[in-house]
Amino acid sequence: MRAVRYGRNDQVSFNMTPMIDIVFLLIIFFLLSSHLVRRESQLEIPLPAATTGEDEWDETRPRVTLNVLSDGEVLLSGRAIAISQLSSRLAWARQEMTDDLEVRIRADRTVPYEFVSPILVAAAKAGVWNVTFAVVHDREAH
Protein backbone atom coordinates (compact mmCIF):
# COMPACT_ATOMS: atom_id res chain seq x y z
CA MET A 1 0.00 0.00 0.00
CA ARG A 2 1.04 3.44 -0.68
CA ALA A 3 1.00 6.01 2.12
CA VAL A 4 -0.92 9.22 1.56
CA ARG A 5 1.21 12.28 2.06
CA TYR A 6 -0.05 15.72 2.76
CA GLY A 7 2.26 18.35 1.53
CA ARG A 8 2.35 22.06 1.77
CA ASN A 9 0.59 22.43 -1.53
CA ASP A 10 -2.61 20.86 -0.25
CA GLN A 11 -5.18 23.59 0.28
CA VAL A 12 -8.04 23.47 2.67
CA SER A 13 -11.04 25.41 1.47
CA PHE A 14 -13.52 27.09 3.73
CA ASN A 15 -17.14 27.11 2.60
CA MET A 16 -18.40 30.69 2.92
CA THR A 17 -21.99 29.98 1.85
CA PRO A 18 -23.43 29.32 5.34
CA MET A 19 -21.72 32.42 6.71
CA ILE A 20 -23.11 34.57 3.91
CA ASP A 21 -26.58 33.14 4.56
CA ILE A 22 -26.34 34.06 8.25
CA VAL A 23 -25.13 37.58 7.47
CA PHE A 24 -28.04 38.17 5.10
CA LEU A 25 -30.50 36.86 7.68
CA LEU A 26 -29.05 39.24 10.28
CA ILE A 27 -29.31 42.16 7.88
CA ILE A 28 -32.96 41.35 7.16
CA PHE A 29 -33.68 40.97 10.88
CA PHE A 30 -32.16 44.34 11.76
CA LEU A 31 -33.90 46.09 8.88
CA LEU A 32 -37.28 44.73 9.94
CA SER A 33 -36.76 45.42 13.64
CA SER A 34 -35.62 49.01 13.02
CA HIS A 35 -38.72 49.55 10.87
CA LEU A 36 -40.94 48.31 13.72
CA VAL A 37 -39.23 50.63 16.20
CA ARG A 38 -39.78 53.63 13.94
CA ARG A 39 -43.40 52.66 13.31
CA GLU A 40 -44.02 52.26 17.03
CA SER A 41 -42.77 55.78 17.73
CA GLN A 42 -44.97 57.19 14.98
CA LEU A 43 -48.22 55.77 16.35
CA GLU A 44 -50.73 58.60 16.60
CA ILE A 45 -51.18 59.16 20.32
CA PRO A 46 -52.04 62.60 21.72
CA LEU A 47 -49.13 63.05 24.13
CA PRO A 48 -49.26 65.20 27.26
CA ALA A 49 -47.77 68.68 27.07
CA ALA A 50 -44.81 69.78 29.16
CA THR A 51 -43.20 73.17 29.66
CA THR A 52 -39.79 71.71 30.50
CA GLY A 53 -37.86 68.69 29.39
CA GLU A 54 -34.98 67.60 27.25
CA ASP A 55 -35.07 66.58 23.64
CA GLU A 56 -32.97 63.43 23.83
CA TRP A 57 -33.40 61.27 20.78
CA ASP A 58 -30.47 58.95 20.28
CA GLU A 59 -31.05 56.35 17.56
CA THR A 60 -28.15 54.22 18.79
CA ARG A 61 -29.38 53.91 22.36
CA PRO A 62 -31.19 50.64 23.13
CA ARG A 63 -34.80 51.53 23.84
CA VAL A 64 -38.13 49.82 24.36
CA THR A 65 -41.18 51.94 23.63
CA LEU A 66 -44.45 51.27 25.42
CA ASN A 67 -47.59 52.90 24.05
CA VAL A 68 -50.49 53.40 26.45
CA LEU A 69 -53.76 53.99 24.62
CA SER A 70 -56.67 56.06 25.92
CA ASP A 71 -58.46 52.95 27.20
CA GLY A 72 -55.39 51.91 29.23
CA GLU A 73 -54.25 49.18 26.84
CA VAL A 74 -50.44 48.81 26.77
CA LEU A 75 -48.71 48.05 23.47
CA LEU A 76 -45.22 46.58 23.21
CA SER A 77 -43.86 46.16 19.67
CA GLY A 78 -47.30 47.05 18.34
CA ARG A 79 -49.05 44.26 20.25
CA ALA A 80 -51.15 44.41 23.38
CA ILE A 81 -49.40 43.04 26.45
CA ALA A 82 -50.78 42.28 29.89
CA ILE A 83 -49.18 44.13 32.79
CA SER A 84 -48.51 40.75 34.44
CA GLN A 85 -46.22 39.81 31.51
CA LEU A 86 -44.52 43.18 31.17
CA SER A 87 -41.88 42.70 33.87
CA SER A 88 -40.58 39.45 32.39
CA ARG A 89 -40.53 40.90 28.87
CA LEU A 90 -38.59 43.96 30.04
CA ALA A 91 -36.15 41.75 31.96
CA TRP A 92 -35.61 39.68 28.82
CA ALA A 93 -35.05 42.82 26.72
CA ARG A 94 -32.60 44.15 29.31
CA GLN A 95 -30.70 40.88 29.27
CA GLU A 96 -30.62 40.65 25.47
CA MET A 97 -29.85 44.30 24.70
CA THR A 98 -28.00 45.96 27.56
CA ASP A 99 -28.20 46.66 31.27
CA ASP A 100 -28.60 50.34 30.36
CA LEU A 101 -31.93 49.76 28.61
CA GLU A 102 -34.22 52.77 28.32
CA VAL A 103 -37.98 52.33 28.53
CA ARG A 104 -39.93 55.14 26.89
CA ILE A 105 -43.58 55.48 27.86
CA ARG A 106 -45.83 57.14 25.29
CA ALA A 107 -49.08 57.56 27.18
CA ASP A 108 -52.21 59.20 25.86
CA ARG A 109 -52.76 62.52 27.63
CA THR A 110 -56.18 61.36 28.87
CA VAL A 111 -54.87 58.17 30.53
CA PRO A 112 -55.16 58.27 34.33
CA TYR A 113 -51.98 57.69 36.34
CA GLU A 114 -53.42 54.43 37.69
CA PHE A 115 -52.75 52.88 34.24
CA VAL A 116 -49.17 54.19 34.09
CA SER A 117 -48.13 53.30 37.64
CA PRO A 118 -48.08 49.49 37.06
CA ILE A 119 -45.72 50.05 34.12
CA LEU A 120 -43.26 51.81 36.41
CA VAL A 121 -43.52 48.97 38.93
CA ALA A 122 -42.93 46.38 36.18
CA ALA A 123 -39.86 48.28 34.96
CA ALA A 124 -38.47 48.44 38.50
CA LYS A 125 -39.02 44.68 38.97
CA ALA A 126 -37.17 44.05 35.69
CA GLY A 127 -34.22 46.11 36.90
CA VAL A 128 -34.78 48.92 34.42
CA TRP A 129 -33.88 52.23 36.01
CA ASN A 130 -33.96 54.48 32.94
CA VAL A 131 -37.62 55.30 32.27
CA THR A 132 -38.62 58.34 30.22
CA PHE A 133 -41.96 59.83 29.21
CA ALA A 134 -42.66 61.12 25.72
CA VAL A 135 -44.28 64.56 25.76
CA VAL A 136 -44.86 67.45 23.39
CA HIS A 137 -43.44 70.87 24.08
CA ASP A 138 -46.09 73.28 25.35
CA ARG A 139 -45.33 76.44 23.38
CA GLU A 140 -48.17 78.43 24.94
CA ALA A 141 -46.53 78.36 28.36
CA HIS A 142 -43.56 80.45 27.19
Number of domains present in the structure of the chain: 1
Q: Is residue 78 part of a domain?
A: yes
**Confidence (pLDDT) at 119:** 94
Domain that holds residue 123: 19-141
Cα atoms in the Cβ-side hemisphere of radius 13 Å centred on 89 = 17
Q: Is residue 86 part of a domain?
A: yes
Q: Is residue 13 part of a domain?
A: no
Q: Is residue 8 part of a domain?
A: no
Q: Is residue 123 part of a domain?
A: yes
**Confidence (pLDDT) at 42:** 60
Percent of residues, the chain, with pLDDT higher than 90: 32
Q: What is the mean pLDDT of residues 28-43?
A: 65
Q: List, in sequence order, every residue forming a beta bridge with 131; answer none if it has no partner.
A: 103
On the question of pLDDT at 139 being above 70, the answer is no
On the question of pLDDT at 7 being above 70, the answer is no
Q: Is residue 132 part of a domain?
A: yes
On the question of pLDDT at 91 being above 50, the answer is yes
Q: List, in sequence order, every residue forming a beta bridge with 136; answer none if it has no partner.
A: 49
Q: Is residue 11 part of a domain?
A: no
Q: What is the mean pLDDT of residues 11-17?
A: 81
**Confidence (pLDDT) at 137:** 78
- CATH number for the domain including 42? 3.30.420.270
Q: Is residue 113 part of a domain?
A: yes
Query: 86 with 119: CB under 8 angstroms?
Result: yes
